[in-house]
Amino acid sequence: MIFSSLFETAWHALATHRMRSFLTMLGMVIGVAAVILMMAIGAGAQEMVRGAIQSMGSNLFIIMSGASTSGGARVATGNAPTLTFDDADAIRDLKDILVAAPVSPGSAQLIYNGVNWSTSVFGTTPDYIQVRNWPMAAGGFFSEADVRSGARVVVIGQVVANELFGAEDPIGKIIRIKQAPFEVIGVLAAKGQSLDGRDQDDTVIVPITSAQQKVFSSSIRNRARFVMAQAVSAKAMNDAEAAINDTLRSRHRIGVGQDDDFSVRNLTALAETAAATTRIMSILLGTIAAISLVVGGIGIMNIMLVSVTERTREIGIRMAIGARRRDVLWQFLIEALTLSLIGCGIGLLLGVGGALLVSSLAGLPVSITPTSVLLAVGVSFLIGVFFGFYPAQRAAGLDPIEALRSQ
């Protein structure tokens, strides 16, 4: 019996019991739809994390001013300004470091033509834009000469540009940062949210000397809250971290057994941990959804066993007029595969539609990859073969005489 006849016979048998066939396929439909939806959400989350990692920059270190003791009280990491501009220069000169920028952060109220906006203010040096891999959308960044002179120039993020200027071109305009006038010389390209959920575009950047003297009115000069450094490559991260520790311990005259007054954070390692966590979540979501496929396969096997019992006499007649056992085996196996693959097709449509709906209504990132589609189709095919083989083998193993006697 050729395969076209087998498919025709299988389709006729399924069409004869439409409701039963539909209910049998329902398990596969739900299973495939769940797998596609869960994997789309998981892949979307991974893409979001990768985007956040890339927006931070590559091969990054943050060297925080460390804890210190003042008047018997222990000051927390980042609050004691133990890092100097010279420390940043020394870190920049290390062979495994590409660039390094001292940073003095804070917050301030911005004013332009009666419009107010509160945002983050970062005082830093021109190396900061390279450390962060942050392109300009308009204008330019300030120079080392601006840092040395304490120039009142500012580079603003996209959110600040939209809030203060709207459709107006901000380049060359004067804004006030805590009543101090600053000229806008550049607008940063959009970066989106960071891994901690902070909007990176809601920020302004000024020369670190200007920030300390004119914005924060700091009495401590030539010191930074933290230093951002970029290694020359991912392979050099470990050597670079060790060199940073050795250099700062030497410069700060920290003896053996004494606590560091700084801390080095490897942002690439933290980002990789976040990405690994997201991958594990995706695998768990896919595994949970795959259980539905197994349940659907069990449903197919049960219905096929019922079909074998109901059609015992039919099987006997087929064998009596010359059908071989393998013909009967293929007939019922193809019926199981047809149920599985039709259910898979409907499930794919529902899964893709559900993923797009979730993305539209909930604003969650989703990514429907060819891998997830091929995986769902492949698993459905294997489930059809696996759970359809036993009923098909049972049908093929019937004794023709006994089958003909069946009522």
Convert the pLDDT of each residue in 45-104 to its tens digit. 777 766 666 666 678 888 988 754 444 444 445 456 788 899 999 999 999 999 999 999
Alpha-carbon span 38 to 36, nearest angstrom? 6
- Is the distance from CB of 92 to CB of 127 less than 8 angstroms? yes
Q: What is the pLDDT of residues 12-43, one digit of tens each?
A: 767 777 777 777 778 788 888 888 888 787 77
Q: Which amino acid is at 146?
A: D
Q: Is the pTM of this model over 0.75?
A: no
Q: What percent of the chain has pLDDT over 90?
A: 28
Angle between helices 237-251 and 85-92 (to 10 degrees): 140
Length of the chain in residues, anyone?
A: 407
Q: Taking 60 as the threshold, does the pLDDT of residue 131 lie above it?
A: yes
Q: Taking 90 as the threshold, does the pLDDT of residue 357 lie above it?
A: no
Task: Give the model's pLDDT for residue 74.
Answer: 45
Angle between helices 325-362 and 370-396 (to 10 degrees): 150
Q: What is the pLDDT of residues 177-218, one digit of tens each?
A: 988 999 999 999 988 776 666 788 999 999 999 998 888 876
Q: What are phi and psi of 301, to 5 degrees?
A: -60, -40
More confident residue, 142 or 254: 142
pLDDT band at 244; cut points 50, 70, 90:
very high
Tokens 């066993």 sit at which residue?
305
Tokens 């509160």 sit at which residue?
118
The full DSSP string for 313-351 is HHHHHHHHTT--HHHHHHHHHHHHHHHHHHHHHHHHHHH
Q: Which amino acid is at 125?
A: T
Taking phi first (over 0 means left), then psi (-120 to 50 degrees means alpha), and beta for anything else, what does residue 249 get? alpha
Q: Taking 80 as the threshold, does the pLDDT of residue 245 lie above it?
A: yes
Mean pLDDT (the chain) is: 80
Task: Give the model's pLDDT for residue 56.
Answer: 64
- Is the distance from CB of 334 to CB of 5 less than 8 angstroms? no
CA distances from 165 to 146, 156, 174, 182, 285 (A): 24, 11, 11, 15, 44
Task: Give the model's pLDDT for residue 52.
Answer: 64
Task: Give the model's pLDDT for residue 57.
Answer: 64
